[in-house]
Amino acid sequence: MRLAPGVPLRDTTDMSPSPSKPARFSLMWRIYILAWLAYALFLSFADQLDKLAEGHFDLMRGVVTFAGLLPSALLLSLAWPLTGILERKEYGLLRVLGIHVVAAIAFALLAQGTFWVLFPVNRSINWYVWPLLYHVMTYLLGAGIFHLIRAGEKAHRQALAMKDAQNLVIASELSALRNKLNPHFLFNTLHSIIALTQRNPAAAETALFQFSDMLRYVLDTERTGSDRVTLDAELDFVRDYLELEQLRLGERLHVEWDLDADAGDHSLPALSLQPLVENSIKHAFNPHSRPGVLQIRTRRDATTGVLTMTVRDTGPGADPATIAASPGLGLRTVERRLQLDYGSRAAMRVQSAPGAGFCVSVTIPAVREELAA
């Protein structure tokens, strides 16, 4: 039986690379400093609107106003480590609010009190209340912004952790799929060689040497830890496989190649094409004594860089119901690997009908899913 027809593949979740934590916080402090400088400059001019209307500006008074905000800027920056402590302690909302109210009062007394000590004024008590309330609101606003930044950073860390977990799951599944596919190939190939020994021992010996080259290809991908190969390498492997099968099938197997010479450097997972070919050998040639044609075609779109590999045979074909019920491993495993590596940008399509042969096409984009964002 054959694999069920290919269905549209789902997107795998991906996130774009983001700035590092030190870079994000460095940007935050730059914005913090620029905001205070802009605010101090604005107050320096706003405090002298009457003089500016007359065409005058008291530089010393502007400097004093500018410098008077320095304690506020320095003290408010201490709210940043305070929000970090509160986040690590995981206090409840009411407790956090209580701590910030106390801190806001302390901030107002220190920031405004320093100015009053340096520049004493003799005013009624009501005159002192409003600047203190203003500083309390300034602190609460700043602390609220710091909490929002920390909440965003926490969400970012959680997203990265989820992404790492997802990558581990995908890597584990890919490894499991490769571990399924390699024994599947080895068993089927050895079975072909064993069948050949019964009829032609000399050809079987040649097949064993051919098989050793194929086994080296499989083991090389395992040793390097990466299953990425070029299309040319995969085609060489398929040629070795077909030469081995030719020894067994003889004149029954006729192979037609229609290859895109410019697509040889296209990167793809190892054992992406060979299972497609093996599927046709198994179902179109093994059960029948009549000769048949196996067509292998590759094309790469010059605009999008998408590679299309097509394997077509002149075997008996199958109806959609039979295909859908098939428990086949080879093509199903290839489709799942494409889904994990490329998301919806890769696809496998199966076309077949009774008496009309079998055709399977695979499209593979130029880059993997995590590199495409």
Q: Answer whether CATH 3.30.565.10 is correct for domain 1-172+252-373.
A: yes
Percentage with pLDDT > 70 across the chain: 79
* pTM value surpassing 0.85: no
For residue 337, give the amino acid letter. R
User: Where would I find the beta strands (DSSP E) of the chain?
Assistant: 228-230, 253-258, 267-269, 292-300, 307-313, 347-352, 358-364
pLDDT tens digits for 172-221? 554 554 555 456 566 667 777 777 777 777 777 777 777 777 777 777 76
In the predicted structure, residue 307 carries a pLDDT above the cut 60: yes
pLDDT band at 241 (very low <50, low <70, confident <90, very high): confident
pLDDT band at 3 (very low <50, low <70, confident <90, very high): very low
Tokens of 103: 């801190």
Torsions phi, psi of 144, nearest 5?
A: -60, -40
| Mean of pLDDT values over 141-152 | 91
* Between 190 and 228, residue with greater pLDDT: 228
What residue has token string 């926490």? 154
| Mean of pLDDT values over 63-68 | 76
Report the SS3 class of residue 309: strand
- pLDDT at 182 (0 to 100): 55
| Mean of pLDDT values over 160-175 | 60
pLDDT tens digits for 79-113? 999 999 998 888 888 999 999 999 999 988 888 87
